[in-house]
Amino acid sequence: NKGKYEHYMQKEIHEQPDSLTTTMRGRLIRGGSCKAKSVLLGGLKDHLKTIRRSRRIVFIGCGTSYNAALAARPILEELSGIPVTLEIASDLLDRQGPIYREDTTVFVSQSGETADTLQALEYALENGALCVGITNTVGSAIARTTHCGVHINAGCEIGVASTKAYTSQIVVMAMLALAIGDDTISSQTRREAIIDGLFDLPSKLKEVLKLDEEMKDLARLLIAEQSLLVFGRGYNYATALEGALKVKEVALMHSEGILAGEMKHGPLALVDETLPIVVVATRDACFSKQQSVIHQLHARKGRLIVMCTKGDAASVCVGGSCRVIEVPQVEDCLQPVINIVPLQLLAYHLTVLRGHNVDQPRNLAKSVTTQ
């Protein structure tokens, strides 16, 4: 049932304030006079000790689910102090990469049925690793086969392009980071800021959805383009990859997410006055580096669309020559949850304007159960 919406993808994008609320329901503890704010993941509570003792945490997934793990890696590393690596399921299998008994492997999958991810899970089980699932589908193959896990509870996702599952996956992984990390005094302020940020996230998501019309205007401007580059780094490298994936898979437009730190090592050669480029430059520890990237792209007459924190337009837009997307600020590690939304909206409107099938892009299936 699409309700008042024309497409499932549109409905699922706009549903995100609610899907995030259900993802967090019963799992965040507000704290009180003598109780600290904390996180409770029922499915993991008996396994946290083992996870904390592991030598390495390996996230495994495909497509959007992989991107969600990429978005959460920095906060997992920061709060757990354990090395975190990422694997695209098919690539791990192609290489038969090393997985050890001392590893915690985390399988991220909306459907819980993706063939590559499921096969990588069987491989990790054979190698004796602890296998944790992060899935949206209760009773799915991955939920049943993992030792333990967390349901993201985002509600059924029907559009082939994953939207609300992505934001809920990031939120679950941020909660996982809080659950694994110890509550030493030194990390207490940071942890509380993240928990407060999680409580605020649904209302900030409502706010960013107000960019809908603005993104439709931007889509009109980009309708006939052949290609769109998206630059990001740090917490928002994932935003670049995931934004480009959305544009590619539904709008059928070539799009590439680029790690801004790699700009000078090749991608800069593509820049001219015609190719549109989105630069994600919201406030975090990488902000000044992104400002310098914008300067360099501007010096090569790049056609820039800059995503920045509300109120920062003047400090990111050199000479007032670029288009700006202003988004609400949240705690840095949660910012990818907000920043992906304008790009989801852009991909959606581009698809409708270009006359393509939104909910079932050609050649794609919601659940990839064959290899």
Interaction residues for ligand F6R, span 60-89 (CB under 6 A)? 62-65
Pick out residues in 1-40 that bind ligand UD1 (CB under 6 A): none
Smallest separation (angstroms) from ligand F6R to the CB of 193: 29
**Residues composing the chain:** 371
Q: Looking at residue 201, what DSSP letter applies?
A: H
121 near ligand UD1, judged by CB under 6 A: no
DSSP secondary structure string for all residues of 289-301:
HHHHHHHHHHHTT
- Tokens 């659940």 belong to 367
Pick from 67, 146, 163, 290 the residue near ligand UD1 by CB under 6 A. 146
- Interface stretch with ligand F6R, choices 57-65, 195-203, 271-279, 300-308 (CB under 6 A): 57-65
User: Which one among 16, 23, 80, 109 touches ligand F6R, defined by CB under 6 A?
Assistant: 109
In angstroms, give the least distance from the CB of 331 to ligand F6R: 25
Measured between alpha carbons, how far apart are the two ends of the chain, in Å? 31
> Which of 93, 161, 280, 330 touches ligand F6R (CB under 6 A)?
161
Residue 148 binds: one of ligand F6R, ligand UD1, none (C-beta under 5 to 8 A by kind): ligand UD1
**Angle at the Cα of 219 (from 307 to 301), degrees rounded to 5?**
55
- Binders of ligand F6R in range 246-305 (CB under 6 A): 249
117 contributes a contact to ligand F6R by CB under 6 A = yes
Strands 84-88 and 56-61: parallel
CA Rg, the chain, in Å? 20
- Please report, for residues 71, 249, 325, 350, 360, the alpha-carbon distance to residue 160 in angstroms, rounded to integers and kept in the order given: 21, 9, 26, 16, 6
Dist. CA 334–CA 296, nearest whole Å: 28
Token pair, residue 214, equals: 């603005």
Q: 88 or 297, CB closer to ligand F6R?
A: 88
Binding site for ligand F6R (CB under 6 A): 62-65, 109-111, 114, 117, 160-162, 245, 249, 367-368
